[in-house]
Amino acid sequence: MLSIYKTDTATVYPCTKLSGTLVVPGDKSVSHRVGILASISSGISRVNGFLNSADCIGLLKAMEALGARTHRSREGDLYIHGTGGRLIEPAGPLDLGNSGTAMRLLAGLLAGVPGAFTLTGDASLQARPMRRIEEPLRKMGARIQLSGDRGCAPMLIKGGGLQAIDYELPVASAQVKSCIMLAALFAEGTTTIIEPAPTRDHTERIFEALQLPMTIDGASIAIEGFGSSGPSLQARTWDVPGDISSAAFWLVAAAVMKGSVTLQRVGLNPRRTAVLDVLKRMGAKVKVTPAKTANSGAEPVGEIRVSAARLRGTVIEGAEIPNLIDEIPILAVAGALAEGETVIKDAHELRVKESDRIQTMCENLKRMGVEVDEMDDGMRIGGPANLRTGGAVSSYGDHRVAMSMAILGLFSDAPLTIKGVDCIETSYPGFWNHLRELGGHVE
């Protein structure tokens, strides 16, 4: 009998040169938002560059359970047949896998829709804090029950009948902001949200593209609600840019390794590009060429070219943190490869991501022989590391930890085994092929 073994383990081999041109997969945050808004529009939206990863496929499955339909053309473009805002009660719980974005954004949408909905996910998602969305949604009048441990999913929502609120976010979180923005569309009155620090603004850009009634004034966003019938949105074409968070793995690798890497069609939303500022500050040779023509997704895109340089340590802190929150694991790797000390602080939020990224990255870096001190809100890394070779590390089920360690493995002088790499599928299908295309070797 033929059987196929899937090991969930990868061995990365040392590498001396990386070069080539890549188009990284679509932005995960933009794909989630477009998937949701196209599903409540009338008509068929075409989505170019939608991220075909486990998280986003899970989101589409949930939207289908709520009444939308999707299909792909032979060329791979995604078409979403919207519900015109008439969502149906699904037969069972909506399983959102590993995706915190899907859970928090959908909770906001469904809080406004009459019916009962249960949102759940994998063990990691069921350990992530949901009170941060429960509180504002309850204030708006939603009936929400968190039946997991200590304020976690599964989450039961009985939606409908929302009232506008004025809400100051206690954490700088684009997921919480976007959750309230979606709920606000279904509320009576004008909801005002105030952010403690700027976070990614993909939802605002999409609302603007859809001409939804929204006023942004500094840190405050005001949205006029449509009441329980919700807005009337028309289908359209969306372009999803490449994900700078996925590009970041190659940016760091190519910033140190001989050769040069060009990444095309990458999203250059200024609320997502702090990773480029940090790498430049560390001495990286980075050239950004913004595209001249705007795409139809309301997001700036362009090309990024990186070539080898000597990096030096830096401090990453304060308002910069929300704009590179998902790049911190790979920036910790950059810190390990740089000359001198790199300090990451004000990053408590890392403790409640797909894993506790402060703990899991410190653990893995130490295992590789990197001098690293774990702090409550970040870490201190002494570079350049004398990498201990021939070892094994774990992803702890976290896609960005897995990919960050794969990049560090390239700089080792013996193969590095990473356990638990299937999770990379949640955000970057094709990661290993891209590594091979640039000249890396992995088994």
Output 103 or 385, the one with its CB closest to ligand S3P. 103
The stretch near ligand S3P (CB under 6 A) out of 52-60, 111-119, 171-179, 375-383 is 171-179
**328 belongs to the binding site for ligand S3P (CB under 6 A):** no
Q: How far is the CB of 255 from ligand S3P (least distance, A)?
A: 22
Among 102, 321, 325, 423, binds ligand S3P (CB under 6 A): 325
Q: How far is the CB of 178 from ligand S3P (least distance, A)?
A: 6
Q: How far is the CB of 186 from ligand S3P (least distance, A)?
A: 19
- Per-residue CA distances from 2 to 5, 9, 377, 378 (Å): 10, 21, 49, 48
Q: How far is the CB of 317 from ligand S3P (least distance, A)?
A: 16
**360 belongs to the binding site for ligand S3P (CB under 6 A):** no
Q: Which residues 13-42 are close enough to bind ligand S3P by CB under 6 A? A: 29, 32
Rounded-to-integer distance, Cα 255 and Cα 305, Å: 10
CA 123 to chain centre: 18
Q: Which residue has the tokens 């469904």?
A: 110
249: tokens are 């793995």
Q: Which residues 83-122 are close enough to bind ligand S3P by CB under 6 A? A: 101
CA 81 to chain centre: 25
Output 197 or 375, the one with its CB closest to ligand S3P. 197
Q: How far is the CB of 293 from ligand S3P (least distance, A)?
A: 25
Rounded-to-integer distance, Cα 157 and Cα 130, Å: 12
Which burial class, exposed, middle or buried, applies to 292 when counting CB atoms under 10 A from its CB (0-12, 13-18, 19+)? exposed
**128 belongs to the binding site for ligand S3P (CB under 6 A):** no
Q: Which of 211, 238, 224, 157 is nearest to 185 (CA)?
A: 224
Residue 384, preceding peptide bond in cis (omega within 30° of 0):
yes
Using CB atoms, what's the residue nearest to ligand S3P?
29
Q: How far is the CB of 142 from ligand S3P (least distance, A)?
A: 19
Among 106, 130, 174, 301, binds ligand S3P (CB under 6 A): 174
Q: Which of 187, 190, 181, 138 is nearest to 33 (CA)?
A: 181
Rounded-to-integer distance, Cα 356 and Cα 363, Å: 11
Beta bridge partners of 166: 192
Among 53, 178, 295, 412, binds ligand S3P (CB under 6 A): 178
Check 201, 326, 413, 422 and give the catalytic one.
326
Q: Is 326 a catalytic residue?
A: yes
**199 belongs to the binding site for ligand S3P (CB under 6 A):** yes
Q: Which residues 151-170 are close enough to bind ligand S3P by CB under 6 A? A: none
Rounded-to-integer distance, Cα 223 and Cα 140, Å: 14
**175 belongs to the binding site for ligand S3P (CB under 6 A):** yes
Among 195, 243, 320, 326, binds ligand S3P (CB under 6 A): 326
What is the size of the binding site for ligand S3P (CB under 6 A)? 12
Output 35 or 84, the one with its CB closest to ligand S3P. 35
**Sheet hosting strand 315-316, strand order edge to edge:** 315-316, 340-344, 378-383, 371-375
Among 15, 87, 164, 200, binds ligand S3P (CB under 6 A): 200
Q: How far is the CB of 428 from ligand S3P (least distance, A)?
A: 13
The stretch near ligand S3P (CB under 6 A) out of 10-18, 172-180, 287-295, 381-389 is 172-180
Beta strand pairing status for 115-120 and 94-95?
A: parallel
Q: How far is the CB of 200 from ligand S3P (least distance, A)?
A: 6
Among 135, 349, 356, 374, binds ligand S3P (CB under 6 A): 349
Residue numbers at the binding site for ligand S3P (CB under 6 A)? 29, 32, 101, 173-175, 178, 199-200, 325-326, 349
Residues serving a catalytic function are: 326
